[in-house]
Amino acid sequence: MQTKELTKEVSPISKKFLLIISSLIYVIVLIGLTSASQSNLGIVFLSLIPFLAHIAFFFFLLEEEHKLFKTIWILPVILSMLFYLVWYSGLNILNQIDGSTIFVLNIILSYIINAIFIIFYKKRSTISYKKHKDLRKNFHFLKQSYNERTAIQTDEIENLKIKLKNFEKQLNVTQENLSFNLRSIEDKCKSINFVIGRVYGKLHGGNERIRDSIKISSEWYNAFSELTQNFRKEDSARLYIILDNIHQKLKVLELKEVEVFDHISLSHLSLDREQNGRDRILDILATNDKDPVYDYHQESLEICQKLMDYLKNLE
């Protein structure tokens, strides 16, 4: 927004504008001098040739500012001097005018044009400097914002790397990390049960019958500690059955309400859900609670499956 405003403000000095001003000054002086001196218009025109030539040179050099500044102050003197020499030589057509007066007048008129240019050039330079300063300020702000965002992204990447490392550790099941993986499932199952308790709790019109239909039995994951204290190959069958039960219960959460609660009335529930029961239970849990239930569910499924595959290979 700010850049557009500056662009409108800082339009370079227009050649058209200078041409209009110069031409206007020339015409006013030409008519005024003719009227005041009661001289022939042609004679006055010849008298102002140095001024007219300065205007022409000025516009020729306007695109090249480095040459323009070196020339605009000395050029009127040179042109006026040449005219004075022609007048001084006694050219009959110029006898009616005062050469000294015209010499000074041409220099003054040329310098007026120079002054107009300088005023607008300084204004342009000042605003251009302001624009440059504002752009630098915007650049530093954007750079700082970029660095802050990069720092935040770096922290997020590091956190993701740690999570990935832990997850890989969970997925690569061994005898040594069996207990670690089971504790991970236990934690996630507890978290899922907490979400079920909050979403289908009394506050939203739920009841124990609804919750028991989808909760993961605590007896299943509480048995993990007993089985892993002195884990033997014979315990693998029992552990496999428990993990399979948990896995099946997790898959139930992927079903629609109408497929699970077919004999239970849910019309009284004050939840963000489809009244016809066509929403998946997992989606309802995620929509009505702030915990990352999708993550709990997905990770539990994957670890369960890995552990079950590992136990199969032990047999």
Q: pLDDT tens digits for 245-276?
A: 999 999 999 999 888 887 777 878 888 888 88
Cα–Cα dist 239/166, whole Å: 23
Closest CA to 239 of 174, 179, 160: 179
Residue written as tokens 């300020």? 137
- β-bridge mates for residue 30, sequence order: none
Q: Tell me which of 49-63, 149-163, 300-314 is least confident.
A: 149-163
Give Cβ neighbours of residue 123 (< 8 Å, ≥ 6 apart): none
Residue that is written with structure tokens 């009127």 in the block: 76
Per-range mean pLDDT, top range of 12-21, 35-44, 95-104, 241-250: 241-250
Percent of the chain with pLDDT over 70: 69
Mean pLDDT of the chain: 76
Q: Is the pLDDT of residue 164 over 60?
A: no
Q: How confident is the model at residue 153 (pLDDT cuts 50, 70, 90)?
A: low
In this structure, what token pair is assigned to residue 307? 């552990």
8 has a pLDDT exceeding 50: no
- For residue 308, how many other CB atoms are within 10 A of its CB? 17
Q: Which residue has the tokens 């199952």?
A: 189
pTM above 0.75, yes or no: no
| Residue type present at position 110 | S
Query: What's the pLDDT at 247?
Result: 94
What's at 163, amino acid-wise? K
* pLDDT at 252 (0 to 100): 93
User: Rounded to 5 degrees, what angle do the CA atoms 146, 150, 155 make?
Assistant: 155
Provide the 8-state DSSP code for 290: S
Dihedral, 285, 288, 290, 294 alpha carbons, nearest 10: 30
**CA nearest neighbour of 47 among 114, 105, 89, 108:** 105
* pLDDT 10s digits, 98-150: 777 778 888 888 788 777 777 766 555 444 444 555 555 566 666 666 666 66
Residue 172 φ/ψ, nearest 5 degrees? -90, 85
Structure tokens at 196: 């079920």
Residue in 246, 245, 250, 241 with CA at minimum distance from that of residue 312? 241
Percentages (nearest 5) of helix, strand, coil residues in the chain: 75, 0, 20
Q: How confident is the model at residue 3 (pLDDT cuts 50, 70, 90)?
A: very low
Over 70: is that where the pLDDT of 65 sits?
A: no
pLDDT at residue 165 is higher than 80: no
Mean pLDDT of 207-235: 83
Confidence of residue 222 (pLDDT cuts 50, 70, 90): confident
C-alpha distance from residue 16 to each of 110, 128, 162 (Å): 17, 20, 67
Q: What is the pLDDT of residue 11?
A: 41
